[in-house]
Chains A and B, each alone.
Chain A
Amino acid sequence: MNCDKARSYLPALALHGPEGSQGNQVERHLAGCPTCQAALEKTRKLQSLFSQARHQTQLEAETEILRDFVPEFHRRLASEIITRKPTIPERLRNWLLPESDGSQETSGFSVFRTPALMGFSACAAALMLIAGFVAFSSLTTSNSTGSAIVRHSSSRELPGQIASLHRGSVVEVESRWNDLVRSPGESDSIYVLDRVSYQPSKSDEAIVLQF
């Protein structure tokens, strides 16, 4: 084993001791190489500095920064918004009816605006407009399903009450949930519901239920 290879093992050797056959080879090399012995000593000193820094950081963190870490975690969890992905009809609608400031060709139709394909693009555009109209119409009459996090004070009454307590576009919530979070010392519970039916609107990219 040469010096370069031996030195690549020094940080692990200094911290964890010799390990495996490679560790033994490094030790044999060190026994006859004063230069690498000096490098090992420097490595140990560097790691000692890091060890001091680590203890100082942990001490500060425990006494100050992380003191209210768990309550803060519960607060964030309770206020979290689960964002849903646009459905296929919505993607189609957004592609067909994009919002543009008029300064650039951002429409999906721009690819058809070449002389050779003008006739074809006109037909295709008509067909896609019809398809888009159908998709857009379907969105106004059908519900989508997503996830939501809700907070409530009584787990037993939740399924029955949720329909009357909903807000915004939420029209129905099934009585299923896959996680239950109860903060220590709090009477409220947080439910992660996995099926929430609601009517999507154009700007509706997220749903939140807060009682």
Chain B
Amino acid sequence: MNEPPQPEPSHGDVHVSGGSDLSQGNVPETSDAELVHRTQKGDAAAFDTLIERYKSRLYGVIFHMINNHEDAADLSQETFLKAFRNILKFRKDANFYTWLYRIGVNTTLNFIRKRKEPPLSLNQLSPETEEEPALKELTSKEGVTAATGLGELREKLNESLQKLSEEHRMVVVLHDIEGLKHQEIAKILGCTEATARSRLYYAHQQLQAWLANYL
């Protein structure tokens, strides 16, 4: 998985769909395709613009996958370096952000799999697991009462996310946090739309159970 994947053809080439805002301050209105083309011709400033355009979103995806700021920043850098090294292989009819996200997803999944403590899979959950002190605290009345700030709520959300398997977590991050559609998620993860939909459904069931007191 070290080699970034070849992107699949896509109908669009500029913006990510969904509810997310792409604007990053003074980013020019040049299309992704044009910036990629200029980068391929040797214009490094064009790739800088692509970095500025997507660094925050890419970082968000990776952070919510691994819940660590330092590692997320490092993996984001690694993703852009891989993209830059392979920019000459990028096809004109492809979607840059789909390609970039796919590199980021693979880089992140490789990182997670190399870690010593793998995340808990949905299929591995058992009644004993649900009695874990951390999980009980997460869903307890006391936990709800104490969680008055947004920061604490976000912490609990991240804790819940980390308890999902990486495949389920990635779908939740890409859909619910990044606002991507199943079609785009399927391209990024290399699975079918039905698989992406199914993973999201089961992940939501689990998250709603864990976060019942917030819903």
Contact = CB atoms under 8 A, between A and B. Distances in A.
A143 interface: no
Main secondary structure on B side of the interface with A = helix
A56 B51 contact: no
Nearest to A192: B85
Given A46-B211, A50-B177, A179 B42 contact: yes
Interface residues of A, number: 41
B153 interface: yes
A52 B208 contact: no
Contacts of B181: 12, 16
Given A61-B60, A178-B88, A182-B45, A80 B81 contact: yes
A47 interface: yes
A134 interface: no
Given A69-B77, A179-B42, A180-B42, A62 B175 contact: no
Interface in A8-59: 8-12, 15-16, 42-43, 45-47, 49-54, 56-58
A25 B20 CA distance: 27
A8 B201 contact: yes
Nearest to A190: B44
B198 A8 contact: yes
Contact of A47 (B176, B182, B198): B176
A160 B200 CA distance: 58
A70 B51 contact: yes
Interface string B62-78: 01100001001100110
B158 to A, nearest CB: 7
B91 interface: no
A62 B56 contact: yes
Contact of B48 (A12, A51, A178, A184): A184
A53 to B, nearest CB: 4
B48 A70 contact: yes
B55 A69 contact: yes
B18 A11 contact: no
Contacts of A45: 214-215
A175 interface: no
Contacts of A69: 51, 55, 73, 76-77
23 contacts: A9-B197, A11-B175, A11-B176, A12-B181, A15-B18, A16-B18, A45-B215, A46-B176, A46-B204, A52-B150, A52-B153, A57-B60, A61-B56, A61-B60, A69-B77, A70-B48, A70-B51, A70-B52, A73-B77, A77-B84, A178-B88, A179-B44, A181-B44
- Identify the 10 closest CB pairs spanning chains A and B, nearest first: A181-B44, A8-B201, A53-B154, A180-B42, A50-B176, A45-B215, A54-B177, A42-B215, A50-B177, A47-B176
Interface of B: 18-20, 24, 42, 44-45, 48, 51-52, 55-57, 59-60, 63-64, 69, 72-73, 76-77, 80-81, 84, 88, 150-151, 153-154, 157-158, 172, 175-179, 181-182, 197-198, 200-201, 204, 207-208, 211, 214-215
Given A65-B59, A69-B51, A72-B77, 8 more contacts: A42-B208, A49-B214, A51-B19, A52-B150, A53-B153, A53-B154, A77-B84, A181-B44
